[in-house]
Amino acid sequence: MTTDGQAHAARTMWNLLHAWWQMMPKEKQTLANADAAIRQARKDIDFLAVLPAQAAQAVLKTYFQAWKNCWDGRADPPNFKSRLRTVMSVDIPQGRDLNTTRVHRRWGQVNIPKVGRVRFRWTKDLPVGKHAGTENRITGARLVKDALGWHIAFPIQTLQHRPEPHQGPDLGIDVGVTVPIALSDGTVYEHGEWLTGKEKARLLHLEQRAARRKAHRKAGERTSGRLHRTYDQIAGLRAKAKRRALDWQHQTTTAIARTYGTVVVEALTITNMVKSAKRTIEEPGKNVARKAGLNRSISAEAWGRTVTMLAYKTAHHGGTLHKVSAPGTSRRCSACGHTTPGSRESQAVFVCKNPDCGWSGNADHNAARNVPHLYRMGHALIPAAGRAVVRRAKRVKPATAR
């Protein structure tokens, strides 16, 4: 049995568990009853038997954790997993059954239950052999498939000391499209295109080929194998670009977390920033194509993912991350503190219109300097305490309704 079969079985197990949860009365929605249900399902349905028992228990644990996150206000309630939109993955919770070994400087081997020995690329040091112990060991594995193939990740249990408070300076960050990350001390982090010229030409050629083949397909006709292969090649190039973007984000956020003790960012509502400008037929929007291009550029920069990385990396190095309100940071003069209309003359230049000031400089640098100023003035945002209680009352009802 291949790993693909186990991934499809894990997704089916999740959907069956979700259907069972919705049908059961509230008093019977317990962990013990759910465990008995999935055990019986693995006996009755041969397709689910390809999934190891430990992986089936991991699905159950993940499903219950999803409901806990919903009740605590951290996420939406769990739902059915679509075959086309769900990332294929398999969780193996018991690390002692993996028998992970290093066979080469660049390669290792791991024993996947009901699959066998699998070779993987050794990219980080793992506690195997004499380096493993009760306080430093592999606790499991997670197999994830994307357009470039299958990948394996190992959760590790290790003993870490609480980091000392970071004594580095304060830092403000302004994110943008032209300049991805601008720091308050004048440092700028930029990146180029994620695909080379040949790769971009190849992607354009594949997209044109897919459009031609799709145009010749009749309504209701199944997608041909050649069109599927073209889609897979397009997805592979896009996955390669995403991997390079992730690598740049990791390197940039790690450098910031190691250097600065207090990092202050803007609390951006990205979902509102990337809304379409089409509006309605009676009242159409303006510059719809330009706004659509801006939305794609904002989404490509993944500002929310950058903030998430900074949050856990600053905590790992003993620093702190704070958020301040975003409105006004681009129009306020960081030298005199006045906000005057028309100060930002262009995307890159800021000129203060205050007659007593007249400071001019880089617009991104000016906005980044305003961010830590708001934090020092006590304008850091604090999450509302009652928000989780309200969301819990709203989210539990659909799961238990009949």
pLDDT at 162 over 70: yes
Number of structural domains found in the chain: 2
Assess whether 316 and 388 both reside in one domain. yes
β-pair partners for 141: 92
Q: CB neighbours (10 Å) of residue 161?
A: 5
Pick the most confident of 66-80, 137-151, 190-204.
Answer: 190-204
Q: Are residues 175 and 314 in the same domain?
A: yes
Please tell me whether residues 296 and 155 are part of one structural domain. no
pLDDT the model gives residue 203 = 95
Last residue in a domain, options 160, 182, 209: 160
Tell whether 279 and 382 lie within a shared domain: yes
Q: Are residues 71 and 175 in the same domain?
A: no
pLDDT at 392 > cutoff 50: no
Same domain flag for 85 and 167: no
E strand or H helix at 144, and its extent? strand 141-146
Tell me the average pLDDT across 46-66: 89
Does 268 reside within a domain? yes
Note whether residue 117 is domain-resident: yes
Measured distance CA(94)–CA(81) in Å, rounded = 25
The verdict on residue 243 lying in a domain is: no
188 plus 136 within the same structural domain? no
Domain boundary among 141, 160, 179: 160
User: Which structure tokens are listed for 11?
Assistant: 């997704």
Asked whether residue 145 is assigned to any structural domain, the reply reads: yes
Q: 308 and 290: one domain? A: yes
Residue after which a domain boundary falls, among 104, 137, 160: 160
Is 4 part of a structural domain of the chain? yes
Confirm whether 397 is domain-assigned: yes
Q: Please tell me which residue, 285 or 234, carries the higher pLDDT value.
A: 234
Task: Write out the H or E segment, with its range, that includes residue 8.
Answer: helix 3-23
Q: What pLDDT is recorded for position 390? A: 33
Is 244 a member of any domain?
A: no
Say whether pLDDT at 337 is over 50: yes
Which pLDDT value is given to residue 383? Answer: 52
Is the residue at 216 inside a domain? no
Q: What tens digit of pLDDT does each residue of 237-280 get?
A: 999 999 999 999 999 999 999 999 889 988 887 787 777 777 66
Percent of the chain with pLDDT over 70: 91
Q: How far apart are CA 322 and CA 324, in angstroms?
A: 7
**Residues 176 and 35 occupy one common structural domain:** no
Look up the pTM and report it: 0.79
| Phi and psi at residue 329, to the nearest 5° | -70, -30
What integer is the mean pLDDT of 386-393? Answer: 35
Query: Side chain identity at 136, as an amino acid letter?
Result: N
- Around Cβ 134, how many Cβ atoms within 10 Å? 7
Q: Which residues of 263-274 are buried (b: 16+ CB within 10 A; e: fewer)?
A: bbbbebeeeeee
Answer yes or no: do 263 and 364 share one domain: yes
Per residue in 180-239, pLDDT (tens digit) is 898 988 888 999 999 999 999 999 999 999 999 888 888 888 888 899 999 999 999 999
What is the domain extent for residue 42?
1-160
Residues 346 and 402 in one domain: yes
pLDDT of 131 > 90? The answer is no
Indicate whether 21 and 156 sit together in one domain: yes
How long a stretch of residues is the chain?
402
Which helix or strand (DSSP H or E) is residue 323 part of?
strand 320-325
